[in-house]
Amino acid sequence: MKILFIHQGAQSFVKKDLDILREKHEVRELKFSGKKGLFLNLLPDLWELLLGVIWCDITFSWFGKLHAFFAVILSRILGRKSVVVAGGDDAAMQTMIGRPYGIFSHPVKGWFGKIIFRLANRVIAISEYNYQEIIANTPVLPEKVKMIYHGFDPALFFHGEEIDKENIVITVGSIDAENYWRKGYFLIKEVARSFPKIPFYIIGLHDGDTIRKLERDKPDNLFFPGPFYGEELVAMLSRAKVYLQLSEWESFGCALAEAMLCECVPVVYRGTALPEVVGDCGYYVDSFDPDKIAVQIKAALKDEDLGKKARERIVSHFPLQKRRDLLLKTINDLMGAKEK
């Protein structure tokens, strides 16, 4: 089959699905820039999208955003099938620390979202929480939604039989205005004050305004080294004893799973999809009280066994092969083909 694979950025989880589909099908990749401003700015993307839909049998959109809106409409007009992976705020309607979050919290964006989910032939969720959010917030028919967890290759996060873990606390994610609140970076800044001798790292791309806000009056043990990728990131995760994820909202938590593969002990907020990833292999916080968070971090730093158990959980519960099999089956079922 011919698949038009549409995205707005090739994050690692997007690239995985692209590689999976290329194993069995002819795939054309389209990065939809979605330039802001006048509608005319979208015309080059829309022209390429139109040509791609004419060519393909199925459009496959990662995230139900503007590119998916045009993809599902053109798919309907031209008699093509459409798949949308709803893996982020595209299915959310949340209030976080008094702030509305998610496309369905916005009246205009929510209207676009309703069209996407109503017209798509298949919607893929990436967690049970994400699945329930899609059912609750969108007009999609439940039988159109398929839940397929993210998958991970443990070999890519293998650091050797033994490694000397260091008392380091690490968080991975873009440092921007949204994540300052959503991922709890403002809390990490306060929690780090309780551990003056323990380095805390927030690793990721950052914008100027947010990094200046975090650097203002920060403790000396809090660092923002920028983004790490590939082996460099694995090396850093392999050194760290604790992975801290204070997100008030997550649809899954890929960086968390990768840290667990590197035998980091997770300390996470008990909310949304994070417990699905961590299970009984980590420490939970139930409030955003820095003192209570510090208590859990202290326990995690002393834990000598949970890191290996955390890795085993990701290996057993979220294998890449399972996502591969279910994703290919979903595509084949959609086209009425038998799985080979």
Structure tokens at 57: 């049998």
pTM of the model as a whole? 0.94
Lowest mean pLDDT: which of 5-14, 161-170, 219-228, 310-319? 161-170
Query: For a pLDDT cut of 70, what percent of the chain falls above it?
Result: 95
Kindly state the average pLDDT of the residues 66-90.
96
Q: How far apart are CA 314 and CA 324, in angstroms?
A: 16
Kindly state the average pLDDT of the residues 99-117.
92
Asked if the domains at 2-151+319-334 and 154-317 fall in one CATH topology, the answer is: yes
- Sign of torsion, CA 43 18 246 186? negative
pLDDT at 340: 34
Structure tokens at 232: 């460099």
Query: For a pLDDT cut of 90, what percent of the chain falls above it?
Result: 87
pLDDT digits (tens, 9 = 90+) for 142-162: 999 999 999 999 999 976 666
pLDDT at 95 > cutoff 90? no
Kindly state the average pLDDT of the residues 299-308.
96
**CA distances in angstroms from 194 to 200, 203, 282, 298, listed in the order given:** 11, 20, 20, 10
Kindly state the average pLDDT of the residues 219-234.
95
Kindly state the average pLDDT of the residues 254-266.
97
Lowest mean pLDDT: which of 1-5, 68-72, 154-158, 256-260? 154-158
Kindly state the average pLDDT of the residues 273-286.
98
| Structure confidence at residue 35 as a pLDDT band (50, 70, 90) | low
pLDDT digits (tens, 9 = 90+) for 158-188: 766 667 899 999 999 999 999 999 999 999 9
pLDDT at 164: 83
For domain 2-151+319-334, the question of CATH label 3.10.310.30 is answered with no
pLDDT at 3: 98
Q: How far apart are CA 60 and CA 84, in angstroms?
A: 6
**CA distances in angstroms from 253 to 36, 120, 241, listed in the order given:** 28, 25, 18
For 337, which DSSP code? P
pLDDT at 198: 98
pLDDT at 338: 39
Tell how strand 94-96 and strand 99-101 pair up. Answer: antiparallel
| Structure confidence at residue 294 as a pLDDT band (50, 70, 90) | very high
For 211, which DSSP code? H
pLDDT digits (tens, 9 = 90+) for 127-144: 999 999 999 999 999 999
pLDDT at 339 > cutoff 50? no
Kindly state the average pLDDT of the residues 92-108.
86
Domain 154-317, architecture per CATH = 3-Layer(aba) Sandwich (3.40)
Structure tokens at 42: 């979208």
How is the chain split into domains, by residue range? 2-151+319-334, 154-317
Helix 12-24 and helix 320-334, axial crossing angle in degrees, nearest 10: 60
pLDDT at 37: 57
pLDDT at 336 > cutoff 90? no
pLDDT at 42: 85
pLDDT at 39: 67
| Structure confidence at residue 38 as a pLDDT band (50, 70, 90) | low
Mean of all residue pLDDT scores within the chain? 93
Name the residue type at position 145: V
